[in-house]
């Protein structure tokens, strides 16, 4: 946030903390005056959304003018309503612009907060539907900030529309299985309920009877072995020469690809997935953390993924090195990805795969197992070439697997 948007964001903190409103009245008045004086000609929909919310909270007469500006920038369809920044012509073919965008989610959440503040509850329902359509399987959104604002807006709306005396029966049915019925009532209406659907289900039918309010969400995931399309970052992961089957040293060079909207990214994140059987060398993380460019280092999934946070990335490439070692015996590892993305605009991203030094079955077997998979011929290993014809290439596009679908009931 910059300029008016940053001022409005700060102003909402003063206005929402009513304990100190009188103490900082002079500061509040100056911020309101600054926003009102610069409201005319404001085009950025994000700035319009947050300024409208701030002026509505302040109950300022110019809040009506700002609300009209906000309404003029609304988009609608399929019984939903949302707000978003225009996609530059050069980015129209970028497939990632179709995915949930943190800035769009945040500004739409501010719009919903404005509707709630103005008492326009029914008019806010289409906005609620769009926000829910952007949620992930865990109930969050694209990033931290948009999740905080959107969940706050949805929670405040829930206070207005949820009936604690709900009595609902929701039935899920799909081919090959008996229907599953979930009862929602006063005793469990605040509980998140999940039902796991078996693999390879292509359609789920949902029917509800009774009275009350609940949200049914169908979530699914799958993996695609393909280099990311429309890269907005340069990305070049290279396995160093001193790596072997037990140790990995991976250098990843990355920089931002400038565009009309700027020459640098927002906060950027690099996710480095390690080969199967490898975990990060914890002793190497402090040196990464101490780097001038890296602001934070995290690991996840049992230390098998390393996440590096940058304040920004520019055209000049930065090349961190990640070290890992083998902790579990796994043979025939497949290529694994490195992903870089803009934390506040996930349409800016890049993905590349790298191939570790592959271990064979004979490298990991022990005792009698080796006799079954390895021949006695020098320099040859039975099983070394097994399945190579089906291994994924970095040049091929292969859908690996369709993962388990989750049907999630989320109650506001």
Do 74 and 147 belong to one domain?
yes
For residue 324, the SS3 value is: strand
In a domain, 401, yes or no: no
What value does the mean pLDDT take over residues 360-366?
Answer: 79
In a domain, 337, yes or no: yes
In a domain, 186, yes or no: yes
Q: How far apart are CA 209 and CA 204, in angstroms?
A: 17
Do 83 and 38 belong to one domain?
yes
Do 301 and 177 belong to one domain?
no
Do 41 and 13 belong to one domain?
yes
Do 22 and 96 belong to one domain?
yes
What value does the mean pLDDT take over residues 54-62?
Answer: 96
For residue 270, the SS3 value is: strand
In a domain, 388, yes or no: no
Do 104 and 59 belong to one domain?
yes
pLDDT value of residue 228: 61
CATH number of the structural domain spanning residue 300: 2.60.40.690
pLDDT value of residue 368: 73
In a domain, 240, yes or no: yes
Do 88 and 155 belong to one domain?
yes
In the predicted structure, residue 381 carries a pLDDT above the cut 50: no
Do 155 and 174 belong to one domain?
no
Predicted confidence (pLDDT) per residue in 306-356, tens digit: 999 999 999 999 999 999 999 998 888 889 999 999 988 888 889 999 998
If you average pLDDT over every residue of the chain, what do you get? Answer: 84
pLDDT value of residue 225: 62
Q: How far apart are CA 181 and CA 56, in angstroms?
A: 43
Among the candidates 146, 161, 176, a domain finishes at 161
Kindly state the tokens that stand for 247: 């140790």
**Cα 247 to chain center, whole Å?**
31
pLDDT value of residue 375: 59
Predicted confidence (pLDDT) per residue in 143-189, tens digit: 889 999 999 999 999 888 887 788 889 998 888 888 888 888 888 87
Assess contact for 187 and 391: CB atoms under 8 A. no
171-177 long-range contacts (CB < 8 A, ≥24 apart) are 171/206, 171/207, 171/208, 172/197, 172/204, 172/205, 172/206, 172/407, 173/204, 173/205, 173/207, 174/201, 174/203, 174/204, 174/205, 175/201, 175/202, 175/203, 176/201
Do 14 and 153 belong to one domain?
yes
Higher pLDDT, 257 or 408: 257
CATH number of the structural domain spanning residue 123: 1.50.10.20
Share of the chain above pLDDT 70, in %: 88
Q: How far apart are CA 195 and CA 178, in angstroms?
A: 13
Predicted confidence (pLDDT) per residue in 5-54, tens digit: 999 999 999 999 988 888 999 999 999 999 999 998 899 999 999 999 99
Do 172 and 157 belong to one domain?
no
Q: How confident is the model at residue 361 (pLDDT cuts 50, 70, 90)?
A: confident
In a domain, 368, yes or no: no
Number of domains present in the structure of the chain: 3
pLDDT value of residue 392: 39
For 281, the domain range is: 233-361
What value does the mean pLDDT take over residues 235-250?
Answer: 92
Q: CB under 8 Å to 164, separation ≥6 — which residues?
A: 186, 189
pLDDT value of residue 260: 75
In a domain, 286, yes or no: yes
pLDDT value of residue 227: 62
Q: How confident is the model at residue 398 (pLDDT cuts 50, 70, 90)?
A: very low
Assess contact for 253 and 319: CB atoms under 8 A. yes
Do 89 and 201 belong to one domain?
no
Residue with the two structure tokens 């359509």? 133
In a domain, 399, yes or no: no
CATH number of the structural domain spanning residue 191: 2.20.210
Do 153 and 204 belong to one domain?
no
Predicted confidence (pLDDT) per residue in 96-151, tens digit: 777 888 999 999 999 999 999 999 999 999 999 999 999 988 888 988 899 999 99
């Amino acid at each position: 946030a910059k300029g008016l948007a940053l001022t409005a964001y700060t102003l909402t903190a003063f206005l929402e903390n009513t304990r100190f409103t009188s103490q900082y009245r002079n500061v509040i008045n100056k911020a309101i005056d600054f926003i009102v004086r610069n409201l005319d000609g404001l085009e950025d929909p994000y700035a319009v959304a947050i300024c409208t919310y701030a002026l509505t909270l302040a109950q300022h007469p110019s809040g009506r003018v700002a609300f009209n500006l906000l309404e003029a920038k609304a988009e609608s369809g399929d019984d939903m309503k949302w707000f978003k920044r225009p996609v530059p012509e050069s980015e129209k073919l970028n497939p990632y612009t179709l995915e949930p965008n943190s800035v769009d989610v945040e500004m739409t959440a501010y719009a919903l907060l404005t509707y709630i503040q103005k008492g326009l509850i029914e008019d806010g329902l289409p906005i609620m539907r769009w926000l829910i359509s952007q949620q992930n399987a865990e109930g969050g959104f694209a990033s931290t900030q948009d999740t905080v604002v959107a969940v706050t807006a949805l929670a405040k709306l829930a206070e207005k529309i949820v009936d604690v005396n709900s009595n609902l029966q929701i039935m899920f049915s799909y081919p090959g299985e008996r229907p599953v019925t979930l009862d929602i009532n006063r005793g469990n209406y605040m509980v998140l309920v999940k039902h796991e659907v078996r693999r390879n289900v292509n359609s789920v039918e949902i029917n509800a009877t009774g009275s009350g309010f609940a949200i049914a969400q169908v979530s699914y995931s799958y993996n695609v072995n393909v280099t990311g399309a429309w890269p907005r970052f340069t990305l070049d992961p290279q396995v160093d020469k001193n790596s072997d089957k037990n140790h990995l040293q991976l250098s990843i060079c990355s920089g931002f690809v400038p565009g009309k909207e700027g020459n640098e990214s927002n906060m950027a994140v690099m996710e480095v997935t390690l080969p199967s059987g490898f975990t990060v060398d914890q002793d190497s993380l402090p040196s990464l953390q101490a780097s001038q460019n890296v602001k934070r280092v995290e690991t996840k999934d049992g230390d098998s993924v390393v996440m590096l946070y940058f304040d920004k990335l520019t055209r000049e490439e930065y090349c961190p090195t990640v070290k890992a070692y083998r902790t579990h015996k796994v043979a025939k590892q497949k290529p694994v990805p490195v992903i870089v993305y803009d934390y506040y605009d996930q349409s800016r991203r890049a993905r590349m795969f790298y191939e570790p030094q592959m271990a064979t079955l004979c490298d990991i077997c022990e005792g009698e197992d080796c006799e079954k998979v390895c021949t006695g011929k020098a320099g040859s290993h039975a099983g070394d070439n097994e399945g190579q014809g089906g291994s994924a290439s970095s040049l091929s596009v292969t859908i690996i697997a369709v993962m388990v679908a989750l049907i999630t009931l989320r109650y506001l």
